[in-house]
Chain A
Amino acid sequence: MNSNSLPAPLPPVIEETSAGRAYKLKEFILFLRVHKLAAIGLSIIVILLIIAVIGPLISPYPDDAYKAVHLENKLLPPSWAHLFGTDELGRDLLTRTIYGTRLSFQIGISVILLSILIGIPYGLISGYFGGWVDNVMMRVCEVFLSFPSMLLSISIVALLGPSLNNMMLSIALSWWPWFARLMRSEAVAIKERGFVEAAKSMGVHPLVIIFRHIWPNSLSVIIVQISMAFGSVILTAASLSFLGLGAQPPTPEWGLIISTGRAYFLTNWWYVTFPGVFILLTVMAFNFLGDGLRDYLDPKTRNS
């Protein structure tokens, strides 16, 4: 290297990307205007997220979230004092639903994070190296995929004992193969591209190729999958809690609230309805957003 002839350091260059970012934001807003469903999904998610974050501040009866008992108020229908009514122990259902939102987002984020942490490196390695490594790794993946994911989660929880943490672990274990497979197919496609070949020919280390060249170019696909998966994970968590395999009383988990409320369904409609509506809204919103993002990020389907 003729490093002795290096000139003085360059003056900092004014970032031209602030304008670029503004343009991208504008483009996204325009997209949302056309894609009404994606806009609706995104709005619902933002509202739910705000509810989840500031939950304790806006709950009318924060004590009711867990252990409080007010038998004098039990099973009151919706009123101004209790917008969503109360349950059989007299706890405010609005408060419990709000805390449930918080919990559901926590579950969603943890499970997705865990699945990604396992699935993404797994898929990247499998797809990039190919050959027998790929074969072995994908067969392992298929063992997980060959069970219905609900059944797999139930078996794992049954093995580990029902609790919130075990439930999250079990959902993550049934979800990571989906990320692994998606990541693998992306890696297989991207590694054929010229810049990977160029990097290889320069002798760049495989791990550097994987994380510097392949991973950033597959981000958009992963983001879509995350959005789609988020709704399903929340739904699965509610289902498992409904079956008594996840959150345990008195945790304010949507599925668990519905499970308890089942007994009062015929006489006290509000008990199961409001948590149910929240589950529905959340899952729907994530699917809408996921669909929209797929159209937005995939240039092939993006022509509107």
Chain B
Amino acid sequence: MTEVLVEIDNLSKYFTVRSGWFGASKTLHAVDNVSLSLHKGECFGLVGESGCGKSTLSRTLLQLYAPTSGTVRIAGSDISSVTRRVRRRNTRNVQMVFQDSYWSMNPKLRVGDVVGEPLRTHTKLSAAERNRKVAILLEQVGLPADFARRFPSQLSGGQRQRIGIARAIALQPELLILDEPTSALDMSVQAQILNLLKDLQEEQQLTYLFVSHDLSVVRHMCTRMAVMYLGQIVETGTTEQIFAHPLHPYTRMLMQAVPDIEGNAELTFYDGEMPKAIDPPVGCRFASRCPHVTEKCTQENQSLRELDGDRSVRCHLAM
């Protein structure tokens, strides 16, 4: 059961930012020494606020960015492998469902061509075979086959997101990255899409990396999760553990920010500025906003400590 599919080892992605033509170049630590392992067939949640490096991490997994350092292994093979054949196989194995389905589809192509694109790229199916395969895929995501003739702009947001999912599973990838797949949809449609994703996962033994800032969705979908803050993982563990007993102050802050239907949640506001990912501060990166900050926090770099029961946390105060 716990066969490791994706192994991210000390992965970093830095960007060089230059202010103006002759300005000094600075380093933006988008993803900083991230290590994670995803088990085959699980749904792994990755949570954090905007700008924390979630997207950079998923784009690195998709090979849209080359990692600055560290390695990513998918089913045992390194994604930044030098041989083209391996790289190509890895592209096939990792697919993504994008947040904004409208933005992620060429408005000039018909749905059939959108879904058929990965097949065109990676298989030698004839046009007729491809069309049939597209019809099957559309059926799998709960859409009638004649949608293939429509343009993305003629569909609703939920239908388009189903198209995005059909496109992503066309090649039967090992890992599916879901980049906030439901955040652009309204509540009832969100539920439908999430259920579809769950069904597909069961049917096809897919592994999901579920990137989101919506904690309730992550709780519903994922078995294990990681919380990211400013390029670093601050806490990992099973979803159950983290929701029952969040250890890192940042995780607690996120939990408290979730609105409660009874309306009896006490909202604690955390003051302080979020530091910039350019030249991050020494010590704990959350120190500027943390209510429990001590002297040690601002002076020493915090490392991710392993705790009992497959948990780890980046805070010296947490037990």
Contact = CB atoms under 8 A, between A and B. Distances in A.
Interface of A: 1, 3, 5-7, 9-10, 13, 15-16, 193-195, 197-205, 208, 212-213, 216-217
A13 B117 contact: no
Interface stretch (B68-76, B99-107, B232-240): B99-107
A72 to B, nearest CB: 62
Nearest to A3: B129
Given A1-B125, A202-B118, A10 B108 contact: no
B6 interface: no
A213 B120 CA distance: 14
A16 B150 contact: yes
B131 A10 contact: yes
B136 A198 contact: no
B277 to A, nearest CB: 20
A58 B34 CA distance: 78
Contacts of B172: 1
Contacts of A197: 59, 64, 98, 104
A277 B116 CA distance: 54
B106 A201 contact: no
A205 B120 CA distance: 11
Interface of B: 59, 62-64, 88, 91-92, 94-96, 98, 100, 103-109, 117-118, 121-123, 125, 128-129, 131-133, 135-136, 145-146, 148-150, 167, 172
Given A15-B149, A202-B121, A203-B92, A9 B132 contact: yes
Given A3-B133, A195-B105, A202-B91, A13 B118 contact: no
A115 B146 CA distance: 41
A302 B100 CA distance: 25
Per CB-CB distance, the 7 closest pairs between chain A and chain B, nearest first, are A194-B104, A203-B91, A194-B103, A201-B62, A216-B108, A195-B106, A13-B146
Q: Which of A1, A6, A203, A213 has most chain B Cβ within 10 Å?
A: A203
Given A7-B132, A16-B150, A217-B106, A194 B100 contact: yes
Given A9-B131, A217-B107, A204 B117 contact: yes
Contacts of A7: 132, 135-136
A206 to B, nearest CB: 12
A44 B96 CA distance: 51
Nearest to B92: A203
Nearest to B147: A13
B133 A194 contact: no
A6 B98 contact: no
A5 B133 CA distance: 9
A203 B122 contact: yes
B150 to A, nearest CB: 7
Contacts of A5: 136
B88 A6 contact: no
A204 B123 CA distance: 12
Contacts, number: 83
A205 B121 contact: yes
13 contacts: A3-B129, A6-B132, A6-B136, A16-B150, A194-B100, A194-B103, A197-B59, A197-B98, A199-B106, A203-B92, A203-B122, A212-B109, A216-B106
A6 B117 contact: no
A201 B129 contact: no
B100 A201 contact: no
B132 A10 contact: yes
A162 to B, nearest CB: 43
Nearest to B131: A10
Contacts of B62: 201
A195 B64 CA distance: 13
B103 A201 contact: no
Given A194-B98, A202-B95, A217-B106, A10 B135 contact: yes
Contact of A217 (B64, B91, B108, B118): B108
A7 B109 CA distance: 24
B121 A198 contact: no
Contacts of B64: 197, 200-201
B88 to A, nearest CB: 6
Given A9-B132, A10-B132, A201-B96, 9 more contacts: A10-B146, A13-B148, A16-B149, A195-B106, A200-B64, A201-B62, A202-B91, A202-B117, A203-B91
A149 B63 CA distance: 44
A304 B293 CA distance: 58
A223 to B, nearest CB: 14
B125 A3 contact: yes
A195 B105 CA distance: 5
A75 to B, nearest CB: 57
Nearest to B110: A17
A201 B177 CA distance: 11
B123 A1 contact: yes
B107 A198 contact: no
Q: Which of A9, A202, A203, A213 has most chain B Cβ within 10 Å?
A: A202
A202 B114 CA distance: 12
B105 A198 contact: yes
Given A1-B125, A3-B129, A10-B132, A203 B105 contact: no
Given A193-B103, A201-B63, A202-B91, A9 B108 contact: no
A192 to B, nearest CB: 10
Q: Which of B92, B100, B118, B172 has most chain A Cβ within 10 Å?
A: B118
Nearest to B113: A212
Contacts of B108: 216-217
B128 A198 contact: no
Contact of A198 (B96, B146, B150): B96
B156 to A, nearest CB: 16
Contacts of A212: 106, 109
B125 A203 contact: no
